[in-house]
Amino acid sequence: MKSVIIGTAGHIDHGKTALVKALTGIDADRLEEEKRRGITIDIGFAHLDLALPGGDTLRLGFVDVPGHERFVRNMLAGVGGIDLVLLVIAADESIKPQTREHFDICRLLSVRRGITVLTKSDLVDRETLEVVRLEVEEFLRNSFLDSARSPIVPVSALTGAGLDELRQALIKVAAEFPSKDSTALARLPIDRVFTMKGFGAVVTGTLVSGTILKEDELEVFPTGRRARVRGVQVHGQQVDQATAGQRTALNLVGVSRQELGRGMALAPPSTFHSTSRIDVTLSLLASAKPLKDRARVHLHAYTSETSATASLYDKKQVSPGETALAQLRLAEPTLLLPGDRFIMRQFSPVLTIGGGVVLDASPIPRMPGLDGFLQILAGGDPQSILRTRIARRNHNGICLSQLIAESGWPGKVIEADLAEPVRQGRVLRLGDRFVDAPALEGLKLFMTSTVAGFHQENPLVAGIGKEQLRERVEASGEVFAAAMEILVREKKLAADGEIVHLPGRGVVMKDEETESKKIIESAIASAGLKVPALKDVLAGLKVDKARAQKIVTLLLRDKVLVKISEDLVFHRDALVDLRKRMTSEKARSPKIDVARFKDLAGVSRKYAIPLLEYLDREHVTRRVGDERVIL
């Protein structure tokens, strides 16, 4: 069974509601006030099943809209989800202001197909009918309702004349209409909320995409409330599921009537985000006044309505009939997705002035290359759109869930569209994340140059810590780890535990340092107590002075070397040996003078005095006059 939603459009009193009733038997005017005043105030609904030639059933859902100029905003709440339009023009009045305004709205919303119905044909003679038909043909020329491709059918709701032709035309146009994608993510803009005794809140709307099943959990936008679907009705019948293109009523549990309203939307939980900023292309009607940068407008999309400010990207103002790129800032957050159509109305007097299409509902402030990005969103195929969305996130890429929220496409569709670029290596998949390959190359260069820079600034340090490097290049953990792995494999960087360094540089430095350390230690150790001057030892090393000094500091810290006076450094083994000799000397005589000490230690006076002072400090000896007592 194919489901198609048909909206009426046209001037007040031209016979829209009467036509829907003549076709379906259902009076779409349900309000008491509507019946009393004989006009439609709010949108009404009806349905009709038609047998298709092949035996299939065509299920038509009708959204009947008011023609009164004061109720255009109600008309807008109804027209958002329609597939086909019945443009209703009374044969005795021909084209009137709301004929034009409703027709403009349908064009701006990109309604693609429809039928023009000349109603009240019983009120005019054949000649008048022909004159009106010619006028209407002229009016519709080159539009989606051009008579070359869309029928114009004269009808009388009173006598029933032309109704059969209209049904045939409906079958033909609806059969050609492609079925909506029921595998897409579900979205139901709410157009009505009421309570049913014993059941709680019921919402209705045109299911614009996807499928909603009984027992589904849904999120209410923009409030974020969660609701469970207790019951689903399509055209007044209990069903297990509603699919895209059906008029749908849901009985919800978990939210009250007060928490719901027209303009809200239902969608799968934790999938989308409401937005206050959208990048769009907007078109101004030829009949509108020029639109200035930062102008305030009423924005209508599906059943939602909010005020918005239009910041123009490439112009100071939009002239009548022109199209421009703009960012709209919405007064109230709304669930909108790329491809959604909207209508703009002027503040006062309230008039339809234009409309457009959402390109991006997740704009990034001050994004470089925005123009090219928006051009691809406006005209690219799904794969190019996904790739440019990935590329704009630079080296950190974007998670699948975020890509779903941004594009509005199901994960499976996205993964299928990206399979080829992933296979070709133009997009990288890191876990749940997609990264643009050139952006990752950029990150790799950034990482190596950052490490090189670090070496230059810190010649004495082996390398930069991994976490420090990650912070400097502003990479997410996953992406950084992947880039690091590639760089190590390509031998552009090396890692020792948590330390990252340039391959050549890190290892050479280490070898030189180890070698220098050995040279210093053995030069001092082998000299015993007759140590050479430290500066002479250091002068013979491969490493530079600063690094040699650092090695000495480390040897002193580790107590391998002991500093006794300025420029007099001994190996600890030599001093341990000296202490042993002092202990044996004590057995011979507890007192020792400088001369005997010189013999004992085998050193000159230049070394003997500092060594004795050191032993005093260490409480091995105590000075008494010119002699020392060995303790």
Ligand X SMILES: Nc1nc2c(ncn2[C@@H]2O[C@H](COP(=O)(O)OP(=O)(O)OP(=O)(O)O)[C@@H](O)[C@H]2O)c(=O)[nH]1
Q: By the criterion CB under 5 A, which residues form the site for Mg ion?
A: 16-17, 40
Residue 609 contact partner, candidates ligand X, Mg ion, none, CB within 5 to 8 A by sort of partner: none
> Hey, what amino acid is at 132?
V
CA neighbor of 187 nearest in space, from 242, 225, 224: 242
Minimum Å gap between C-beta 35 and ligand X is 10
Least Å distance, CB 203 to ligand X, is 24
Binds 18, which of ligand X, Mg ion, none (CB < 5 to 8 A, cut-off by type)?
ligand X
Written as six digits, the tokens of 535 are 């500066």
- Does position 119 interact with ligand X (CB under 6 A)? The reply is yes
Binding mask 483-512 for ligand X (x = CB under 6 A): ------------------------------
* Position of minimal CB gap to ligand X: 67
Q: Give the DSSP letter string of 406-467.
A: HH---HHHHHHHHHHHHHTTSEEEETTEEEEHHHHHHHHHHHHHHHHHHHHH-TTSS-EEHH
Partner interacting with residue 24 (select from Mg ion, ligand X, none; CB below 5-8 Å by kind): none
Residue pointed to by tokens 């069974």: 1
CB 28, min distance to Mg ion, A: 7
- Which is closer to ligand X, CB of 131 or CB of 600? 131
> What does 119 interact with, of Mg ion, ligand X, none (CB < 5 to 8 A by kind)?
ligand X
Minimum separation from the CB atom of position 245 to ligand X (A): 24
Q: Which stretch binds ligand X (CB under 6 A): 8-16, 410-418, 440-448, 458-466?
A: 8-16
Residue pair 531/524 in contact (Cβ under 8 Å)? The answer is yes
Our CB check for ligand X shows the closer of 119 and 281 to be 119
Is residue 120 involved in binding ligand X (CB under 6 A)? yes
What's the min distance (Å) between Cβ of 60 and Mg ion?
17
Options 14-22, 230-238, 317-325, 457-465: segment touching ligand X (CB under 6 A): 14-22
Q: In what order do the strands lie in the sheet with 433-436?
A: 398-399, 433-436, 427-430
Does residue 12 belong to the site contacting ligand X (CB under 6 A)?
yes
Q: Does 13 bind ligand X (CB under 6 A)?
A: yes
Q: Select the binding partner of residue 120 from Mg ion, ligand X, none (C-beta < 5 to 8 A, by kind).
A: ligand X
**256 touches 248 (CB < 8 A):** no
Mark the segment that binds ligand X (CB under 6 A) among 38-46, 400-408, 465-473, 529-537.
38-46
Site for ligand X (CB under 6 A): how many residues?
A: 21
Among 536, 549, 543, 532, residue whose Cα is nearest residue 606: 532
Which tokens in the block code for residue 525?
A: 């150790």
Does position 99 interact with ligand X (CB under 6 A)? The reply is no
Q: Are 84 and 7 in contact (CB under 8 A)?
A: yes
Least distance CB 55 / ligand X (angstroms): 32
Nearer CB in complex with Mg ion: 40/388: 40
Interface characters, 247-266, with ligand X (x: CB under 6 A): --------------------
Question: Residue 163 has which token pair?
Answer: 């109704």
Rule CB under 6 A: choose which of 24, 150, 156, 394 binds ligand X. Answer: 156
Min dist CB 17 to Mg ion, Å, is 3
**Is 74 among the residues that bind ligand X (CB under 6 A)?**
no
Decide: 299 and 109 in contact? Cβ < 8 Å: no
d(CA 618, CA 630): 11
Structure tokens at 347: 């503040």
Q: Which stretch binds ligand X (CB under 6 A): 11-19, 52-60, 245-253, 545-553?
A: 11-19
40 makes contact with ligand X (CB under 6 A): yes
Residue from 7, 61, 67, 162 touching ligand X (CB under 6 A): that is 67
Stretch that binds ligand X, among 120-128, 310-318, 334-342, 350-358 (CB under 6 A): 120-128
Q: How far is the CB of 291 from ligand X (least distance, A)?
A: 29
Q: How far is the CB of 382 from Mg ion (least distance, A)?
A: 40
Nearer to ligand X, 35 or 535 (CB): 35
Find out whether 359 and 352 touch, Cβ atoms under 8 Å: no
What are the two backbone dihedrals, phi and then psi, of residue 425, each rounded to the nearest 5 degrees?
Answer: 80, 15
Q: Which residue, 439, 433, 429, 428, is CA-closest to 391?
A: 439
CB of 131 to ligand X, least distance (A): 18
Q: What is the DSSP string of 521-585?
A: HHHHHHTTTSPPPHHHHHHT-SS-HHHHHHHHHHHHHTTSEEEEETTEEEEHHHHHHHHHHHHHH
| Smallest distance, ligand X to C-beta of residue 119, A | 5
Min dist. Cβ of residue 121 to ligand X (A): 7
Burial 98-137 (b: 16+ CB within 10 A, else e): bbebbbbbbbbbebebbbbbbbbbbebeeeebeebbeebe
Nearer to Mg ion, 29 or 417 (CB): 29
Which of residues 7, 66, 210, 463 is near ligand X by CB under 6 A? Answer: 66
Measured CA to CA, the distance from residue 271 to residue 329 in angstroms comes to 22
How far apart are alpha carbons 318 and 428 in whole angstroms? 41
> With binding defined as CB under 6 A, does residue 157 bind ligand X?
yes
* Given 131, 158, 400, 560, the residue binding ligand X (CB under 6 A): 158
Task: Give Cβ neighbours of residue 487 (< 8 Å, ≥ 6 apart).
Answer: 444, 447, 448, 493
Provide the residue type at 313 as one letter: Y
What is the closest distance, in whole angstroms, from the C-beta atom of residue 38 to ligand X in the complex? 6
Candidates 4, 6, 7, 16: give the one binding ligand X (CB under 6 A). 16
The least distance separating Mg ion from the CB of residue 31, rounded to whole angstroms, comes to 11
Could you count the other beta carbons within 10 Å of the beta carbon of residue 139?
17
d(CA 249, CA 201): 10
Residue choice 18, 190, 264, 391 for contact with ligand X (CB under 6 A): 18
Beta-carbon contacts of residue 557 (< 8 Å; ≥ 6 apart): none
Cβ proximity of 188 and 212 under 8 Å: yes
- 3-state DSSP call for residue 314? coil
The interface region with ligand X, picked from 50-58, 66-74, 186-194, 436-444 by CB under 6 A, is: 66-74
Binding site for ligand X (CB under 6 A): 10, 12-18, 38-40, 66-68, 119-120, 122-123, 156-158
